[in-house]
Structure 1
Amino acid sequence: MIPVLVRASLRYLARHRWQSGLSILGIALGVAVVIAVDIANESARRAFDLSIERVAGRATHRIESASGGIPDAVYADLRRHGGLAAIDASPIIEAPVRIADATFTLIGLDLLAFSSVRGSGLSVEGPSLIRILTQPDTLLLSASDARRLGVVPGDTVPLRIGTRELSAELVGILTSDQTSGFEGLAIADIATAQEVTERIGTIDRIDLVITPEDASVLAEALPPGLRLVASEQRSETLRRMTRAFHTNLTAMSLLAMLVGGFIIYNTMTFAVLQRRSLLGSLRTLGCTRTQLFALVLSEALLFALAGAVLGLALGILTGWGLVQLVTRTINDIYFALTVRELFVTPLSVVKGMTAGLLITLVAALGPAIEAARAQPRDVLRANSLERRGQRWVLWLGAFGFTLMIIGWGAAQIPSRSLGLGFLAILILILGFSLCVPALLRAIALGLTRVVGPIGGIPAVLAARGVAASITRTGIAAAALTVAISSTLGVGVMIDSFRSSLIVWLDTTLQSDIYVSSPSETGNRADGDLPSGLAQRLAGLPGIAEISMGRSVRAESDTGSVLLLGLTSSSVSPSGFSFEGREAADLWTRFEAGELILASEPYAYHQDVGVGDRIALFTEQGWQSFEIGGIFRDYGSDAGMLVMTGSHYAALWNDDTVSSIGIMVDDTTDRAEVFERVRDLTETFDAPVLVSLNEQIREQSLDIFDRTFAITHVLRLLAIGVAFIGVLSALTALELERRRDYAVMRATGMTRRELTLLILTQTSILGLSAGILAIPLGLVMADLLIEVVNLRSFGWTMEMQIPPMTLIQGVVLAWSAALLAGLYPAYRSADTDPAQALRSE
């Protein structure tokens, strides 16, 4: 009996190549999205880990300063009297630098301590190391980077540090037996690095290789203003910054795979329906239920394997495009990162293919059970499975409604777990999708009563056809509903976020003109504006007043945090939108240095509120500060703290300025003042960036739009999977109803009328899916805003429902269904009625 089943299965699949191909393509797209996102995430994560490993070398700890820089004299004193004499230690300068069109990390270090801290296995090709120690503007590159840039020792390479254009001579090639090597690094003597980065007399940090026992002793011996940090602690802080971002992308990819599961269910259900006579005959001849069950699952597994292999190839190709979007987003929001290789790990492949196989087998369980449990007389009877499906529609709807309640309840559980939030959304989506067939059937039956007097018999036949074939049309509509609802949900979330961002920018950008440093190195000293610039700006005609800010990264008791020392103007308080309660006499106590302000993301992630205290590491050691207010901020999902500028300057011994806000007098033309400010800044040697209020606003919105570009791509891929599902369902419906269509043609229906009938059916399916997607999409948007975004980034926002977004979703669903129905309509209308009737 087994060989007979195998031959029957292979013959069926060979005769229905289009349907089998569409099923494989649907699975392939779902697998491709999962693999592509995982490859993009893994490539970015691997590039980050390699960059950390290359920069840190063998260093186990580092000594950092609260002010961001350690004077050379302090380092020398630590070497002589501070316990570093017997420790492997190296002073470090680190800064991003552009060489040609590539991004590198410039590492300035003491080459005499190079091998002890950077690791063994190092050799240098080319001229002697004496040249890099004795000559300025010289550097070393790895062999692979030199080949990529097309340079050899002795060549001069162009450098760009921030906005400054420099040049350096390549004096040697670094090679290493270590796996990570030195790719992406430009190594220079520390004196050269200090000169090109304009950090004369200071170093960024001191890298150490010490045991935990020595670390505890050294930490106690360090002078005020310095602290010892484990290298892994710093790396983990940076990894944590992007963890929620990667998780969100993974959830979007799994949504596409979920939509692919509906395609499999629809395909296997139709395969059972179409072969009801064959299956009934096999049961009559002695085939067992177990064998029929295994037959359907084996066919589904065959589809899954073929789709997974094709999806692997598509996923690798798509992954290269997605990794560029992921990298650009990380660079815009978090830190500079360059991904030069696409990392296809076995785990990424296993994840995608396993997801495809599991979802396919789960989706095929229903049709397999139906084929196995039916009696021979039921299977041989036409449409017996469809009639059974009609009875199960209401039960599925009731079960789906129960799942929706469970999903909504899970989302309301007080928790900070991002996984629980995504699980709640998944349960809710699955529950609603089970309700779609019942809702579609009700819509179709309702239309038969409404459109009859208007559209005549063809309209009634179209509506009844949708209801009568609910096991296929319902599943196709469910797939399309989920895809469109994800588009609507994410679209409403993005629109709400963008609207909240615009309101926040309008609130925050109180000044008319902003002056800042264009440096991109990320070092505290590189953000300094020229000394005396603020005073000279305040004296220009047409300027009413100025505010000043000093942005630095400070160390708190919970990790690194962005700190703003603010010297306020009269409009500065208007630039803060506070959430919840505020401390009494907030601004009076803030200006007195008694209170600091915390951004909403910081307060959420650190679970602090008004009245709580935060410890910060200053030049005078650890200091405690009370939070006076929580303000809304979309500038950083890691959070920010704000204190008065005078208090910051006293505690960190730093009176420099990073940015200046200028308020123009109401009686003066702002364009004229802008030109005066720009003319003044051009008199300084250091480059200064001058921007109007609206320019910063536009740049911020551009970064926002680039950030969500990858989300738009994933939404389109999910819709593509749903389109394949609708096309598969309509093609199956056309094959099953071939005899009905032939009878219609034989009794006088023209090709045009039959085409219009089928397209009307697809329109009903598409419009119904679009309308049903609206409530699900709005619920998804609410959960994305109130649960996922809050738990991921700590941001809150007001939900905005643009009517055009909802209309576009309905039109998109209708267009996808209509396009998917064109080919089945053409085939049905083009089939000869006599031939179709003879085949029956």
Structure 2
Amino acid sequence: MTLWRHLCWPAWRDHPGRVILAIVAVMLGVALAFGVHLLNGAALAEFARAARSIDGQPDLVVRAASGPLTDADLAELLNRPEVSAANPVLEAQALWPGQTADAELKGRALSIRLIGLDPLALLASAAGARPLAPELLPQVEGGPAELVASNTVHLNGVARARLAAGATTLKLRLPIPGSNAPRDIELAIGGRIAAGNTPLGVLDIADAQALFGRLGLLDRIDLQLAPGVDAAAFAATLPPHWRAAPPEDEGARLADLTRAYRINLGLLALMALFTGSFLVYAVLSLATAQRLPQWALVGVLGVSARMRWRLILMEGLVIGSVGTALGLALGLGLAAGALKLLGSDLGLHGANGSSAELLFNQPLLGPALAYTALGLAAALVAALAPALTVRRIAPALVLKGLGLPAGRTLPAWLGLALLALGAALAWLPPVLGDTPLGAYLAMLCLLMGGLALVPALVRGMTATLVRLPAGALLLLARERSRDQATEARRSLAGVLVALALAVAMTVMIGSFRESLLRWLDHALPADLYVRSALRGADGLPAPLPAALVERLGRLPELARAAPQRSTRLRLAPGANPVALTARDIDTGSLPLVERWAGAPAPDAIAVWVNEAARDRDGLKPGRVFTAELVDGGRRLRLQVRGVWRDYSRQSSALWMDLADYRRASDDAGTTELALWLAPGQALDAARTAVRRLAGDDVELAAAGELRAMSLRIFDRSFAITVWLQAVALAVGLFGVVASQSAQALARRREFGLLRHLGLSQRALMRLLLIEASLTGGAGALAGLALGLGLSAVLVYVVNPQSFHWSMEMHLPLGRLTALVGLAFAAAVGASLLAGRRALGQDAVRAVREDA
């Protein structure tokens, strides 16, 4: 500690700004990574809590193998001795006219979820150790009779917050199955329920069946079994027309769906820590260069190389410890602030409960220790190179002014081998579902390989100086660059990594945005789009009235109308439904990425699937399979004719020709209409005409509005990416400034000797300019080449494997030129500024230090 106090502390005291920046670099990296982890955990915990509050905790959930359940199914289950309680459930989505759900979709009425159940069954189960759904049990002032009051809805806090002051009734509009006309209802407002973070209402099951137009029908039955009854064994005894399973773990389901997004976001946050380690390296290298005479002196006085090594590592450990501690606190604060700003459901429209509780209701010690280890490891790894430098110095030579020892050169074949290994790893399939682990390892190998090849690139650029007219400055620059090529790798490591990552993210985002624009041209060919504001229990738009569809097709403001039907399909018995869209199929205008060139299968309906269905469900072009329509239960024999690009979802989805769908299903319903304007007609006039016919029961959106909204969502989604990219680039640029300063200070005696030999200060500055241009140019070119290689991995591997979205490579040349120019200018400018400072010392005084 005495040596540390005399050798290290004075440098920290005299140059606190550099040390603070190194600590801030570690702090930001740890804070961003830890904060993102806490936010992900809080979002998953809140989603699971909200789902449990609505679905409850039954032992088994019974659904019909095909179609709905009936009251007779409920009676049969209640008569089984193994069942201690049963709660019938029926759900619907109602329209709440006059309310606005989303400012981006003006005029869209608010939807409210309605759940019909048996309050008395919930009340009876509430006395037990495991109540069925305690947060759905209405809290009323009266007795049980008020729970089942006729035409009464019990609302949660989110719905009550949208009520007009003093309101005692609620007017809603419901889609009626089998009817083209919705039904307006008025319900008395009853008690309160605690469940849900979106508008939710609970009704008695008998009222729900009558109001929803589904008399005698049920969506599901939640069962509570008698003590000692095994749920799996009981489910095996049920007849095949029932499908019984434990309640879905919604938290686990969401975790599976968002795993790729969360991993990518976490790695993106760790990018700041990765580049921050280069800043720590730059600061410690600068401090090492400034104190080299002191390290040499203590070496002559008996301090071993091993002790000098330990002192430098101790400096890195102190920087890492302080930065990590501050980063953990800042990460917790960032997560708490985000939850405070967005709500406990991260902005999903109105959350209940304390946001701070979500952070502390998840494990904190394990993640905190993991990110502490990452922060300390990053700082210690960054301190290794300066520590090795101090350990390898020859004290007597350094005291004579010979500067830093020559760096160890990595063979060029190692860099080429790492590049080849990275290219090979990129071909590996994803693991854990959608995690492109091989692609991430490939990117790391490409970065390390590029760093290893920097000396060879510098020597190659130096060789070009041989063809230039001979001169003292060129000779000095050529020999210096050849001998110190390894030092160029060290000084440019931070900016090379930061530039490569910045180029990669810029190309990926630009490619994604350009591909999205082209996809929107295919996905939104019409001028105006209409769909019902009413929703079915599954959340899909309710069918538009047939009379309205016919009248809209005859409007003089419109040239034509194309109907579309959105429904659901089961790819296997008992499987979760996937989206099916029936529309007029024009294969020439579809955004297809694969086509089936073989012969059509006999008696099979042609379908086109998105990339998620191809990758996750194995629906490759040409495959023939059988699927079941959720509505109606009809089984269809289908053949995949192609794969289309789908940026609107990450789940499986299919397209079918509308005529084929109607023949196979006998369903003539229309859920959406695409409208083309007649020549010379204005969009506003057509919108007014549609609204005049349809009223407030439809949602209207122009293609331009949908396009603008999609791009706003895209830009908002990648805002954090751009910000982290800027942080990483700034850290890398400061790293090259600090590294060049270290090199210039270490050469102060060399500059003094050259001044004695007759070179002017202006000539020395030209020498520095030549050297900096060589190393800076090598760094900029290597960063650009590495960035393009990384972007190819992101575009062609990471995105398809993580999100099942393919895209074309697009190079935003203007931004790339600005990034490369900024990195080159930073390297050259830093070298010149550092050289000017070093040359500012008196040459005679600098040489006298050698005596």
Q: CA deviation at 1:626?
A: 2.7
The aligned counterpart of 1:436 is 454
Pick which of 437-446 and 631-640 moved more: 437-446
The aligned counterpart of 1:399 is 414
Alignment pair present for 1:785 and 2:799 = no
1:78 to 67, 73, 76: 73
| Aligned partners of 2:592 and 2:643 also within 8 Å | yes
| Aligned partners of 1:30 and 1:721 also within 8 Å | no
Q: CA deviation at 1:788?
A: 0.8
Q: 1:691 to 1:105 in 2, by over 3 A?
A: closer
| Aligned partners of 1:162 and 1:518 also within 8 Å | no
Alignment pair present for 1:299 and 2:315 = yes
Q: Which amino acid aligns with 2:523?
A: T
> 1:502-581 maps to which residues of 2 (within 5 A)?
502-518=517-533, 523-524=538-539, 526-541=541-556, 543=558, 545-557=560-572, 559-568=575-584, 572-581=586-595
Q: CA deviation at 1:544?
A: 5.2
1:601 to 598, 612, 635: 612
Q: What secondary structure is seen at the aligned counterpart in 2 of 1:597?
A: strand
CA deviation string 1:213-248 (max 9, x = no partner): 2333346233xxxx4454326654443322211121
Q: What secondary structure is seen at the aligned counterpart in 1 of 2:693?
A: coil
Q: What secondary structure is seen at the aligned counterpart in 2 of 1:656?
A: coil
> 1:631-650 maps to which residues of 2 (within 5 A)?
631-645=644-658, 648=661
Alignment pair present for 1:262 and 2:278 = yes
Q: CA deviation at 1:290?
A: 3.1
CA deviation string 1:521-576 (max 9, x = no partner): 883464432343222223334655433222234333395354334242xx733332
The aligned counterpart of 2:515 is 500
**Structure 2: how far apart are the matches of 1:760 and 1:305?**
40
1:278 to 287, 294, 298: 294
**Structure 1: how far apart are the matches of 2:695 and 2:303?**
89
| Aligned partners of 2:48 and 2:250 also within 8 Å | no
Equivalenced residue count is 805
| Aligned partners of 2:51 and 2:196 also within 8 Å | no
Q: What secondary structure is seen at the aligned counterpart in 1 of 2:650?
A: coil
Alignment pair present for 1:582 and 2:577 = no
Decide which structure has greater helix share.
1
The aligned counterpart of 1:723 is 733
Q: Kindly report the root-mean-square deviation, in angstroms, between the aligned alpha carbons of the 2 structures.
A: 4.9
Percent of aligned pairs with the same residue? Answer: 25
Q: Which amino acid aligns with 2:426?
A: A
**Structure 1: how far apart are the matches of 2:350 and 2:769?**
50
2:91 to 90, 93, 98: 93
**Structure 2: how far apart are the matches of 1:337 and 1:288?**
64
Q: Which amino acid aligns with 1:75?
A: T
| Aligned partners of 2:403 and 2:746 also within 8 Å | no
> 1:140-155 maps to which residues of 2 (within 5 A)?
140-141=155-156
Q: CA deviation at 1:777?
A: 1.2
The aligned counterpart of 1:36 is 35
Q: Which amino acid aligns with 1:188?
A: V
Q: CA deviation at 1:397?
A: 4.5
The aligned counterpart of 2:495 is 480
The aligned counterpart of 1:127 is 141
Name stretches of at least 5 consecutive residues in structure 1 with no aligned partner.
176-180
Q: 1:318 to 1:551 in 2, by over 3 A?
A: same
> 1:700-719 maps to which residues of 2 (within 5 A)?
700-719=710-729
Q: CA deviation at 1:277?
A: 3.3
Q: 1:355 to 1:104 in 2, by over 3 A?
A: farther
Q: What secondary structure is seen at the aligned counterpart in 1 of 2:674?
A: strand
Q: CA deviation at 1:493?
A: 1.8
| Aligned partners of 1:272 and 1:371 also within 8 Å | yes
The aligned counterpart of 1:627 is 640
The aligned counterpart of 1:350 is 369
**Structure 2: how far apart are the matches of 1:495 and 1:515?**
31
Q: 1:654 to 1:213 in 2, by over 3 A?
A: farther
CA deviation string 1:739-773 (max 9, x = no partner): 56778999999999999987887776655433322
The aligned counterpart of 1:365 is 384
| Aligned partners of 1:107 and 1:193 also within 8 Å | no
**Structure 2: how far apart are the matches of 1:168 and 1:729?**
72
Q: What secondary structure is seen at the aligned counterpart in 1 of 2:730?
A: helix
Q: Which amino acid aligns with 2:699?
A: L
**Structure 2: how far apart are the matches of 1:612 and 1:44?**
38
1:803 to 807, 810, 813: 813
**Structure 2: how far apart are the matches of 1:353 and 1:197?**
57
CA deviation string 1:778-834 (max 9, x = no partner): 111111112111111222222122322321221332465578679857866887889
CA deviation string 1:334-364 (max 9, x = no partner): x989695573733443333221111222232
CA deviation string 1:131-167 (max 9, x = no partner): 464265643446xx79x96999987799999999999
| Aligned partners of 2:339 and 2:346 also within 8 Å | no
The aligned counterpart of 1:178 is none
**Structure 1: how far apart are the matches of 2:591 and 2:136?**
54
1:426 to 444, 469, 486: 444
TM-score by structure 2 length? 0.79
Q: CA deviation at 1:603?
A: 0.5
CA deviation string 1:702-741 (max 9, x = no partner): 3332332222122122113213323432443454455567
Q: 1:524 to 1:303 in 2, by over 3 A?
A: closer
Q: CA deviation at 1:424?
A: 1.1
Alignment pair present for 1:23 and 2:39 = no
**Structure 1: how far apart are the matches of 2:95 and 2:830?**
51
| Aligned partners of 1:23 and 1:728 also within 8 Å | no
Q: Which amino acid aligns with 1:189?
A: L
Q: What secondary structure is seen at the aligned counterpart in 2 of 1:575?
A: coil
The aligned counterpart of 2:44 is 45
Q: Which amino acid aligns with 1:287?
A: V
The aligned counterpart of 1:311 is 327
CA deviation string 1:636-675 (max 9, x = no partner): 222311234455457667543221223456xx33437x73
Q: What secondary structure is seen at the aligned counterpart in 2 of 1:267?
A: helix
1:732 to 738, 742, 751: 742
Q: CA deviation at 1:373?
A: 4.7
> 1:817-832 maps to which residues of 2 (within 5 A)?
817=827
Q: CA deviation at 1:95?
A: 5.6
Q: What secondary structure is seen at the aligned counterpart in 1 of 2:594?
A: coil
Name stretches of at least 5 consecutive residues in structure 2 with no aligned partner.
103-109, 126-130, 176-181, 226-230
The aligned counterpart of 1:213 is 233
Q: What secondary structure is seen at the aligned counterpart in 1 of 2:655?
A: strand
**Structure 2: how far apart are the matches of 1:734 and 1:546?**
72
**Structure 1: how far apart are the matches of 2:843 and 2:204?**
86
Q: Which amino acid aligns with 1:113?
A: A
Pick which of 78-87 and 486-495 moved more: 78-87
2:115 to 108, 114, 125: 108
Pick which of 607-616 and 98-107 moved more: 98-107
**Structure 2: how far apart are the matches of 1:7 and 1:611?**
76
Q: What secondary structure is seen at the aligned counterpart in 2 of 1:189?
A: strand
Q: Which amino acid aligns with 2:240?
A: E
Q: What secondary structure is seen at the aligned counterpart in 2 of 1:358?
A: helix
Q: Which amino acid aligns with 2:447?
A: I
Q: CA deviation at 1:837?
A: 8.0
| Aligned partners of 2:316 and 2:379 also within 8 Å | yes
Q: What secondary structure is seen at the aligned counterpart in 2 of 1:684?
A: helix
| Aligned partners of 2:451 and 2:489 also within 8 Å | no
**Structure 1: how far apart are the matches of 2:721 and 2:72?**
52
Q: CA deviation at 1:4?
A: 3.4
CA deviation string 1:392-411 (max 9, x = no partner): 23x25443332112111211
TM-score by structure 1 length? 0.80
| Aligned partners of 2:22 and 2:280 also within 8 Å | yes
**Structure 1: how far apart are the matches of 2:770 and 2:533?**
59
